[in-house]
Chain A
Amino acid sequence: MKEVIIVKIGMADLNVASGGDSLKTTGLGSCVGLTLHDANIGIAGMAHIMLPSSDIAREGQLNIAKYADTAVPELLSRLKAGGANVRRLVAKLAGGAQMFAFASGSDSMRIGPRNVESTKLALAAYDIPVIAEDTGGNFGRTIEFSSASGILTIRSVQNGVKEI
């Protein structure tokens, strides 16, 4: 039996995996872990999205994996290059937590929910359905996604392990 390779996704990073391999990202707080899966050919993609929109970028060299609006098209083109059909893709989301609660809800404090909203908006532009999500709350998550099964495994300190 082939050994399953786990591809690590860093913060503001994205990648694809197939042939039964898995994708993993650790310590999602307000960041959103987006996964896309084409079950027909067993290809999966994952992005660790940090910020809602590249409109607010002030960096010279844009890291397109960092923003919801740029990470989604990039992940799609990587999946397409791997043979995926956009019409078959389904999305799952995790993360987007609000790690600390403050009375004064300034905008940067709501970054988690805004990341989730923007990611959904970017997916809707390509008619990709979000079939499951584990978002919000005030806790961190580590996620692993199997290209074979399309199952997203979510681990958190308080709630243990959960599959969606």
Chain B
Amino acid sequence: MELFSHNAEFKMDVLREVGNIGAGHAATALSRLLDKPIDMAVPKVSFIPFEDIADRVGGAEEVVVAIFLRVEGEAPGNMFFLMSQNQARALLQGLLSFELSDGPQYTEMELSALSEIGNILAGSYLSSLADLTGLPLSPTVPAIAVDMAGAILSYGLVQFGTMGDEALLIDTTFLEDDRRAEGHFFFIPDPESFERLFRALGVPI
């Protein structure tokens, strides 16, 4: 992307910090929900070939639980909260003490609870980002899917597809204290959002 031909390292650092602040608030929200400490890895920010994006979560065919929100406002983009099936179950048990149904199927109630968790986390991610940048940003109602990681993530890359074969994403990993649950936050700003984010944060273009 042309925007990154100049000062790329610094711009990546800024985006890493965006992920750090956003996901930091989301981790705090999750920690309150579960009433236990949540760790967060340093966000990874990079241009990744489409091919390799699903590898971050175990491969294109790995079945994951994904909550997807479209970010609307001045810096639109796509946001995914992704976790493995085990992680989703651990989250449901930890949060709601659900008697979990067997098999890969989730009940309406379980899916709705997971969507709501995604909603709360994405909401805190975005509101901290909106505070930081002064840009109005709001999430759409979340949609949830339990399916192959490749099929889910490719959906969030369509905007990048017209520009090349790689996407810039901000990937933050959450870990529960006892490592029982791990989740990924992917924030994929639309290509035209980067310039607005940088301007709002006072980064020379």
User: Could you list which residues of chain A lie within 8 angstroms of chain B, going by C-beta atoms?
Assistant: 10-12, 26-31, 50-51, 56-59, 63, 66, 97, 99-104, 108, 111, 138-142, 157-158
Question: Is there contact, CB below 8 Å, between B162 and A99?
Answer: no
Tell me, yes or no, whether B60 is within 8 Å of chain A by CB.
yes
Q: B37 — which chain A residues lie within 8 A by C-beta?
A: none
On chain B, which size bracket covers the interface?
20 to 34
- Which of A57, A108, A139 contacts B151 (CB under 8 A)? A139
Q: A59 — which chain B residues lie within 8 A by C-beta?
A: 162-165
Q: How far is the CA of A31 from the CA of B59 in the complex (A)?
A: 17
Given A11-B50, A56-B162, the answer on whether A27 and B104 have CB atoms closer than 8 Å is: no
- A-B CB contacts (within 8 Å), total count: 96
Question: Is there contact, CB below 8 Å, between A26 and B60?
Answer: yes
A27, A102, A103, A108 pick with most chain B CB within 10 angstroms: A27
Q: What are the 10 tightest A-B residue pairs by CB atom distance, in nearest-first order?
A: A27-B150, A140-B151, A29-B151, A27-B60, A100-B143, A140-B148, A26-B60, A27-B148, A140-B147, A11-B50
Tell me, yes or no, whether B140 is within 8 Å of chain A by CB.
yes
Judged by DSSP, the binding face of B is: mixed
CB distance from A104 to the nearest CB of B (A): 8
Judged by DSSP, the binding face of A is: loop
Q: B164 — which chain A residues lie within 8 A by C-beta?
A: 59, 63
Given A63-B165, A100-B143, A142-B148, the answer on whether A10 and B154 have CB atoms closer than 8 Å is: no
Given A142-B61, A157-B63, the answer on whether A50 and B147 have CB atoms closer than 8 Å is: no
Supply 22 A–B pairs (Cβ within 8 Å), ascending by A. Answer: A26-B60, A27-B60, A27-B154, A28-B151, A29-B147, A29-B152, A29-B154, A50-B154, A51-B161, A57-B162, A58-B162, A59-B164, A66-B161, A97-B151, A99-B68, A108-B159, A111-B155, A139-B147, A140-B147, A141-B151, A157-B63, A157-B148
Q: B91 — which chain A residues lie within 8 A by C-beta?
A: none
- Which of B70, B145, B150, B163 contacts A26 (CB under 8 A)? B150
